[in-house]
Amino acid sequence: MESVHTALLLGTGVFWTAAYVLLIRTGVRERTFGMPVVAFATNLSWEFMFAFVRPPSGVMHVVNIVWFCFDLAIGYTVVRHGRPEFPYLPDRFFLPALAVLLALAYPGMHYASEQFDDGAGTITAFGSNLAMSAMFLAMLAARRGTRGQSAGIALAKLLGTACASLAMLTTADPAPRYESALMYYLYGACFLLDLAYLAALHAVRRAEVRA
């Protein structure tokens, strides 16, 4: 079981790293951003917290630092190409609004982690992941197309999160909160929304090709 758990953790790292790389690559190439802005803010906050404020022991500390650096690159695409995605927001308000969002995201993540996770970060990780999955679907609908998105991103996110979910269930000494009804809901809901996003993205891409 330990070898399975290790393999799942490795899969989590590989697939989520692939998702980050594809998000950055697609954003730069298509001159937009691929991660929804609110999801970017919560993701950046979580990874800053668990890279520098409450770092775990072992390899995950290094992984969190690497992922934080990827988040900064995604942030570049948001700052550089984000204004046209909000046509009803005056240009001069875009950066201040983004700064306020980031300022609110970190304390929110901090307090949620203390309240629900005893500072561990697991519930907040999967909770923000579920919100991100929903926001990817909302972004696909709002953009009315696949700009800044790809099947590779969607598949890498799905597989990375699925591996993380299974890793929580195969750890040798699971904390009770990892097998709570809430966590089972988060595992299942993330998978279903990620699957729905992949299917919706495929359908929209086919419609774009036909057009």
Interacting residues of 47 by C-beta distance below 8 A, sequence separation 6+: 64, 67, 68, 71
Mean pLDDT, range 26-37, rounded to an integer: 96
169 vs 129, more confident: 129
User: What was the pLDDT predicted at 210?
Assistant: 85
176 has pLDDT over 70: no
State both tokens at 65. Answer: 């630092």
Q: Maximum CA pair distance of the chain?
A: 54
C-alpha distance from residue 115 to each of 56, 166, 187 (Å): 18, 24, 20
How does pLDDT run across 57-84, given as a tens digit for each residue? 877 888 899 999 999 999 999 999 999 9
156 has pLDDT over 90: yes
* CB-CB neighbours of 11 under 10 Å: 17
Q: How far apart are CA 200 and CA 23, in angstroms?
A: 18
State both tokens at 105. Answer: 């995201």
In this structure, are residues 148 and 32 in contact, taking their beta carbons and an 8 Å threshold? yes
**pTM for the full model?**
0.93
State both tokens at 39. Answer: 């999801």
In this structure, are residues 39 and 101 in contact, taking their beta carbons and an 8 Å threshold? no
User: What was the pLDDT predicted at 18?
Assistant: 97
Q: How far apart are CA 35 and CA 17, in angstroms?
A: 14
Nearest to 97, CA basis, from 81, 83, 112:
83
How does pLDDT run across 81-121, given as a tens digit for each residue? 999 999 999 999 999 999 999 999 999 999 999 988 888 88
User: What was the pLDDT predicted at 178?
Assistant: 63
Name the residue with tokens 């891409």.
Answer: 205
- DSSP letter for each residue of 20-82: HHHHHHHHHHHTS-SS-HHHHHHHHHHHHIIIIISPPSTHHHHHHHHHHHHHHHHHHHHHHH-
Confidence band for 161, pLDDT divided at 50, 70 and 90: very high
